[in-house]
Amino acid sequence: MNMIVTTLAMATGLIILAIGNEYLLQWTEVTNGVNWIYLPAGLRMCYALVLPLQGTLAIFLASVALASRDPSLSGLLIVLGAGVTAAGPLLARVVAMTRLGLQPNLENLTARMLWTMAAIFGLFSSTLHQAYYAWLGREPAWVSMWIGDTLGCLLCLYGLKAAMSLWRRMSMN
């Protein structure tokens, strides 16, 4: 039961941040679904790092809910798009663990690793999304999406790193 509540809370947080990003950073939108700064991308990466199974499921559920607002998308396209959205951070996590040597408890998370992970995540996320958008016939915007996802990821990852440092300090006392 706790896993369900946590997953739904994470999905709700992602939905709130995505809608907030739409309003607060509307001026960064390049085209539908593409921003120069996209904070939810970073939250997705944080979810996949901290709680991979629940995080991926939360990303998928939030993406279904957000995409359901678009009346031009069928149920199949909504589910496919949610899968694309959930795959990016999961793939970046796998690369971070297998190629960068990131430990599952994130203890060895360094500034260099943060930058590398953000760039890798941005690469996976923007490439998968742009392939999906091209299939839908939407305007291409790979560079701006990569920059927006990478910046959003960096901002959230640095926030996660700061929170983990604070947590460790508080746990020691």
Residues listed for the chain? 173
Output the pLDDT for position 97.
Answer: 93
Output the pLDDT for position 100.
Answer: 92
Domain boundaries, the chain: 2-172
> Can you read off the two tokens belonging to residue 94?
């796998």
C-alpha distance from residue 154 to each of 41, 76, 91, 125 (Å) = 9, 31, 17, 14
**CA end-to-end span of the chain:** 31
For residue 162, pLDDT over 90 is answered with no
3-state helix vs strand vs coil in the chain, percent to 5:
80, 5, 20
Output the pLDDT for position 81.
Answer: 96
Residues 19-72: tens digit of each pLDDT: 999 999 889 889 888 999 999 999 999 899 989 999 999 999 999 999 999 999
Q: What percent of the chain has pLDDT over 70?
A: 100
2-172 CATH pick, 3.40.50, 1.10.30, 2.60.40, 1.10.1760: 1.10.1760
Q: What average pLDDT score do residues 119-133 get?
A: 94
> Can you read off the two tokens belonging to residue 86?
């959930």
For residue 173, pLDDT over 80 is answered with no
pTM above 0.85, yes or no: yes
Question: Average pLDDT of the chain?
Answer: 92
> Can you read off the two tokens belonging to residue 157?
């990852």
DSSP secondary structure letter of residue 73: S
Output the pLDDT for position 43.
Answer: 94
The residue that leads in pLDDT, 87 or 155, is 87
Phi, psi of 112 (to 5 degrees): -65, -40
